């Protein structure tokens, strides 16, 4: 009995410690965003600001064009989410439900691309988009979502589809339904948890995609929130209080989106790995 309670106590202590490790950076960002610039440089650092400077948030909104940056970010995110949701789910449906030659081989190739770092393909992709005259536009960041939707997303959808009984497909085929009808009428309503997982991962990925946006969006009028945040960093000095205030503003929408989809996200994560 004592051993069981001791093990449970150790588990709770570890969970508390890990929670504090996750929350401490967020607290430090929030605390810095409410300080004046002199306090951010003090050593040893203060845990609590001497005066809460909420004006940092209004100051940073005067320096960074958040309205433009948020608009540009959502111009990219909305079509990317639509493209990823459709193309990756229908590709996963093909791998999980449709019999065709070398299906396992082609799926293995898709999985292998997960191991390929995106930085390796960055230069050849940039050269290709440049020759098409599409640099300094949003198209290089949007169009790839409509051609596969990402190998990891295909994998997640396929794993979830393997948990759905095939008898549903067979009954629909007997009634004369086509594969596309099965996908639209049966599969799509059932893969909602996996869809939320994929869309949340995609949303956060695009929101934080500093490198890709930096490479393709050279004009300031096209800047996203990730690029707008970087404009606060100076070559000689950086106003860390304003930078942290801007970080809070940028992170807040992503947190809201996650909280809205949290229930389906947890359900999707729990069910996408049931079958192999």
Per-domain residue ranges of the chain: 1-52, 64-274
User: What would the pLDDT profile of 126-177 be if each residue is shown by its tens digit?
Assistant: 999 999 999 899 999 999 999 877 888 999 898 888 888 888 888 888 888 8
What residues have CB less than 8 Å from 66, skipping those under 6 apart? 225, 228, 249
Domain 64-274: CATH superfamily is MetI-like (1.10.3720.10)
Q: Percent of the chain scored above 70 by pLDDT?
A: 92
Tell me the C-alpha to C-alpha distance, in Å, between residue 23 and each of 30, 172, 250: 11, 49, 17
CA atoms within 13 A on the CB side of 236: 0
Give CA–CA dist 126/114, Å, rounded.
20
User: What would the pLDDT profile of 198-229 be if each residue is shown by its tens digit?
Assistant: 998 899 889 988 888 999 998 888 999 888 88
Q: 44 preceded by cis ω (within 30°)?
A: yes
| Average pLDDT of the residues in 38-46 | 80
Residue indicated by tokens 């999985």: 111
Cβ atoms of 91 and 154 within 8 Å: the answer is: yes
Cβ atoms of 69 and 225 within 8 Å: the answer is: yes
User: Residue 19's Cα: distance from chain center in Å?
Assistant: 21
User: What would the pLDDT profile of 239-254 be if each residue is shown by its tens digit?
Assistant: 888 888 888 888 888 8
In this predicted structure, the answer to whether residue 2 has a pLDDT above a threshold of 70 is no
Cβ neighbour number for residue 217 with a 10 Å cutoff: 22
User: What would the pLDDT profile of 84-130 be if each residue is shown by its tens digit?
Assistant: 999 999 999 999 888 888 888 998 988 888 888 888 888 899 999 99
Give CA–CA dist 107/88, Å, rounded.
12
Give CA–CA dist 273/121, Å, rounded.
29
In this predicted structure, the answer to whether residue 270 has a pLDDT above a threshold of 70 is no
């Amino acid at each position: 009995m004592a051993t069981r309670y001791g093990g449970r106590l150790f588990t709770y202590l570890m969970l508390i410690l890990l929670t504090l490790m996750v929350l401490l950076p967020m607290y430090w960002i929030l605390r810095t965003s409410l300080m004046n610039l002199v306090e951010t440089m003090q050593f040893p650092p203060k845990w609590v600001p001497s005066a809460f400077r909420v004006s940092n948030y209004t100051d940073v909104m005067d320096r960074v064009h958040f309205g433009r940056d948020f608009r540009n970010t959502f111009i990219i995110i909305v079509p990317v989410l639509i493209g990823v949701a459709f193309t990756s789910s229908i590709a996963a449906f093909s791998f999980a439900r449709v019999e065709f030659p070398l299906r396992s081989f082609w799926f293995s190739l898709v999985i292998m691309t997960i191991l390929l770092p995106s930085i390796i393909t960055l230069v050849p992709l940039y050269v290709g988009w440049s020759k098409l005259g599409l640099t300094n536009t949003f198209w290089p960041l949007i169009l790839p979502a409509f051609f596969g939707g990402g190998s990891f997303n295909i994998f997640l959808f396929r794993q979830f589809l393997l948990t759905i009984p095939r008898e549903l497909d067979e009954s629909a085929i007997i009634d004369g339904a086509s594969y596309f009808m099965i996908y639209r009428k049966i599969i799509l309503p059932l893969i909602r948890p996996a869809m939320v997982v994929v869309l949340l991962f995609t949303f956060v990925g695009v929101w934080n995609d500093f490198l890709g946006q930096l490479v393709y969006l050279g004009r300031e009028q096209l800047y996203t929130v990730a690029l707008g945040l970087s404009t606060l960093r100076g070559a000689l000095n950086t106003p860390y209080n304003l930078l942290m205030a801007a970080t809070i503003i940028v992170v807040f929408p992503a947190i809201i989106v996650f909280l809205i989809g949290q229930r389906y996200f947890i359900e999707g994560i729990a069910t996408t790995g049931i079958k192999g």
